[in-house]
Structure 1
Amino acid sequence: MKTKKKRGEQIMYIGIMSGTSLDGIDMVAASFSDQSATLHHQAEYPFPEKLKDKLIALSQGASVTLEEIGTIDHFLGKTYAEAVNRFLAESTLKAEEIAAIGCHGQTVFHKPTGPMPFTMQLGDANIIAALTGITTVADFRRKDMALGGQGAPLVPAFHQFLFSTDSTTKVVLNIGGIANISVLAPDQPVIGYDTGPGNMLMDSWVSKHHGKPYDKDGVWAASGVVNQALLTQMLSDGYFAQSTPKSTGRELFNQRWLETHLNTFSQPVNAEDIQATLLAFTAQSIANDVTLYGSGELLVCGGGARNKTLMTALQLALPCWQVMPTDDIGINGDSLEALAFAWLAYQALKGKPGNLTDVTGASRPCRLGAIYYPD
């Protein structure tokens, strides 16, 4: 861990991430140099349930008015700002010590292909800057897409910065609502893309049947039996056959997608067996991609790293890989994505690129994010 500099210097960056699982707002305060990242503080704050419900409905294609979108945008920006101010108070930091906030916002739609590709993240950054008094960097994806890229995933550039590569291939796997990998192989360009569902379908199913936000440790999934025919059917989705670069989200893999598969399946399946099959679906879709890169270390972060049953399934599916949470190498996996967006804010203020063209498919490297000043 690096030594912290004197208070009062504008050396720290706050990173905010609320992923596709919508399980909370992750926040970090960190400082950076050209060679290292130092995590100073971290916290997680809950979403207001009303806001969470609206965001899930919106991202799954619910019919809404422009007024409702604007209201959610404002509400979310205010929620982020209030969380930042609480974070500052709890960590005894002052706004003057923060050079910038990097806020990913909440993705409600992501369509990187077709004649008019676009992505939409809500959470008004003007409100964040105004209510915190801190310069805010947001809208990280659209510049990359304007240059022909997918606008996702963006964390592989940070993973390359953070994790040194030696003679061992490292794959950094983030299991949030969607799962994505960054492949760091010696003397090779970084590869990164969304492998498919992470926790999203499992969370949706356990919520429907038990009213819980997630299946803690995968206990309910472990009580069921994997239905191999249903697993094969779900793995036949066309997304898995797409070439890279590619990215996906809740607009594809959602409760409606799951119900379509269940409705067309030839036989009824018990609820716990469906949960077991969904866990196997996440593990196998990840393993099918990781296997392509030989052997090495699979470093797992995100909420899925806390699911013991899922981690066991990944190790069984990847016998040639050492599967471990990033915590085992001293990096808290719950804060890694928020840390990435703090770093992207640092890159933006330094005028440095934040994308990797081999990952996103953009025509050139570019600085990511629009900068919103508090005055």
Structure 2
Amino acid sequence: MSGLYLGLMSGTSLDGVDGVLADFSTARCRVAHHAFAPFTPEMKAELLALNTAGPNELHRAALAANALARTYAGVVQALLRQAGLAPAAVRAIGVHGQTVRHRPQAFDGTGYTLQLNNPALLAELTGIDVVADFRSRDVAAGGQGAPLVPAFHQGLFGQPGRTVCVLNLGGISNLSVLGADGSVLGFDCGPGNALMDHWCQRHTGQPFDAGGAWAASGQVLPELLQALQAEPYLALPPPKSTGRDLFNPTWLEDRLAAFATAAPADVQATLTELTASACATDVLRYADESKTLIVCGGGALNGHLMRRLAALLPGVAVASSEAHGLPPLQVEAAAFAWLAHRAVERQCGSLASVTGAAGPRVLGAIYPA
């Protein structure tokens, strides 16, 4: 049976879809190819709008899921072309879907997590088995359903006898603490790029602050930073997870009300400092013995943010995941290829120590080609 899997990830940054072709025929995951498809402005706007209640949202969500499946299929075709492979050569596609609501344990004690997707359509379009809906089984077992990447991080970046931290900086930031004794802890720290991207788009027209140059041109506003850091979520102990349900433009506007005269570049600098400080605080709180922080996700390309992390973590080697064998924009997609591999093999993909579920579970639903 083929050891080749495709992983597709579209995260809370809403920039588009990263896809990888990963080989699991040996003990260590090897990523052979990478492809990316940006979201159109219209799709990005609709996916963002579907994060909150709105008119006719069930109809709109179904059509958005169809559009996502077609975008995913385009990434799959690009990867197959790069590799010179027929669909039959790939065992399965692991596809995360686009999170639009994430409320585990809320309301009725179980709560829910919702990722827009149409895996049946993706299976039709590609002719490859699709594994999707990875989070809901963990939520059903009493867990957070997130983050799901720490188990993959352990296999990829873990170092026996040393505590290593892995920080994913997507729209939301999440930290994996890979213990020297083999233990694993993981949770969402708080905002990653989501608030910074929103503010940058609003004031510069650019989708993100390239390299963090705009933030670097401003000054951190201490009183605003303190107001942002007062968010109760940041002080909660793990297991915990969050998303745009909390860290969204409304959350930001409520806290900016008392700072109406602040220069936009200073607000950007402060939002960058919020992300850096939340992540650094959690590294010091839960892994003060770690001397290594491996950073992946789009935030790893933000030079100013990386410098702020290094400044807040003296004595810790802060480096992009590329220096550890896998480029930062490929790590999450590779994780969902790995989760698909686990599902096909009927092996557990979650860690109860991370999500707080009743135990590890086989994650994902399989849609045969």
TM-score band, normalised by the shorter chain?
A: over 0.9
Please name the residue that 2:71 is paired with: 79
Task: Quote the Cα distance in structure 2 between the aligned partners of 1:331 and 1:356.
Answer: 22
Paired residue secondary structure (1:203): helix
TM-score, length basis structure 2: 0.96
**Structure 1 residues without counterparts, runs of 5 or longer:** 1-8
Residue number in structure 2 paired with 1:324: 319
In structure 2, the residue matched to 1:290 is 283
What is the DSSP-based 3-state SS (H/G/I as helix, E as strand, rest coil) of the residue aligned with 1:144? helix
Which among 275, 295, 302 is matched to residue 300 of structure 1?
295
- Counterpart of 1:337? 332
**Residues 60 and 254 of structure 1 are in contact (CA less than 8 Å); yes or no, is this contact kept in structure 2?**
no
Partner of residue 349, structure 1: 344
- The corresponding residue for 1:4 is none
Q: Give 2:125's match in structure 1, choosing from 118, 125, 131.
A: 131
Separation (CA, whole Å) in 2 of partners of 1:324 and 1:90: 29
1:229-259 Cα distance to aligned partner (Å, 9 max, x none): 1001100101012121000001110111111
Contact 1:35 1:161 in 2 (8 A): no
The correspondence of residues 194-343 of structure 1 with structure 2, limited to 5 A, is 194-263=188-257, 265=258, 268-292=261-285, 293-294=287-288, 295-343=290-338
When residues 63 and 288 of structure 1 are mapped into structure 2, their CA distance, relative to the original with a 3 A threshold, is farther
What are the superposed Cα offsets for residues 172-193 of structure 1, whole Å, 9 maximum, x if unpaired? 0000000001001111520000
Letter in 1 for 2:281: N
CA separation of 1:61 and 1:270: change in aligned 2, threshold 3 A: farther
Question: For residues 354 and 311 of structure 1, what CA distance do their matches in structure 2 show?
Answer: 30
The amino acid of 2:337's aligned partner reads: A
Asked whether the equivalents of residues 99 and 115 of structure 2 are also in contact (C-alpha less than 8 Å), the reply is: yes
- Report the AA paired with residue 331 of structure 1: L
Between 266-275 and 18-27, the greater mean CA deviation after superposition: 266-275
Gaps of 5+ in 2: none
Contact in 2 for aligned 1:300/1:333 (Cα 8 Å): yes
Helix, strand or coil for the counterpart of 2:2? coil
| Partner amino acid, structure 1, of 2:132 | A
**Aligned counterpart, 1:3:** none
Rounded to whole Å, the distance in 1 between the matches of 2:318 and 2:2 is 38
Q: How does 1:61-100 map to 2 (within 5 A)?
A: 61-100=53-92
Q: 2:296, 2:320 within 8 Å by CA — same for their partners in 1?
A: yes
Give the corresponding residue for 2:43. 51
Match of 1:112 in 2: 104
> What is the CA–CA distance in structure 2 between the aligned matches of 1:59 and 1:91, rounded to whole Å?
35
Q: Is the 8 A contact 2:224 2:259 kept in 1?
A: no
Deviations 1:58-112 (A, max 9, x none): 1144444321121112221122123212331233221011000000000000001
- Conservation of the 8 A alpha-carbon contact between 2:157 and 2:324: no
2:261 aligned partner, one-letter code:
P
Q: Is the 8 A contact 2:65 2:118 kept in 1?
A: yes
CA distance in 2, matches of 1:55, 1:64: 14
Structure 1 letter corresponding to 2:347: K
2:266 is paired with a residue of what secondary structure?
A: helix
2:134 matched to which residue of 1?
Answer: 140
2:128 alignment partner, SS class: coil
Secondary structure of residue in 2 paired with 1:332: coil
Cα deviation, residue 125, structure 1: 0.1
**Cα contact 2:3–2:25 (8 A) shared by 1:** no
Alignment check: 8 A CA contact 1:172 1:181 kept: yes
**For residues 123-163 of structure 1, what are the alpha-carbon distances to aligned partners after superposition, in whole Å with 9 as ceiling and x for unaligned?**
10000001100000000000011100000000001011112
SS in 2 for 1:35: coil
Is 1:191 matched with 2:185? yes
Q: Distance in 2 between matches of 1:173 and 1:125?
A: 29
**1-structure distance, mates of 2:54, 2:264:** 25
Q: TM-score, normalised by structure 1?
A: 0.95
Does the aligned pair in 1 maintain the 2:160–2:182 contact within 8 Å?
no
Alignment coverage as a number of residue pairs: 365
Check the 8 A contact 1:81/1:127 in 2, yes or no: no
Q: CA deviation at 1:34?
A: 6.7
Which residue does 1:360 correspond to in 2?
355
Q: CA 1:241/1:64 → structure 2, altered by over 3 Å: closer, same or farther?
A: farther
Q: Work out whether residues 168 and 297 of structure 1, in 8 Å CA contact, stay in contact via their aligned partners in 2.
A: no
- Give the SS at the match of 1:239: helix
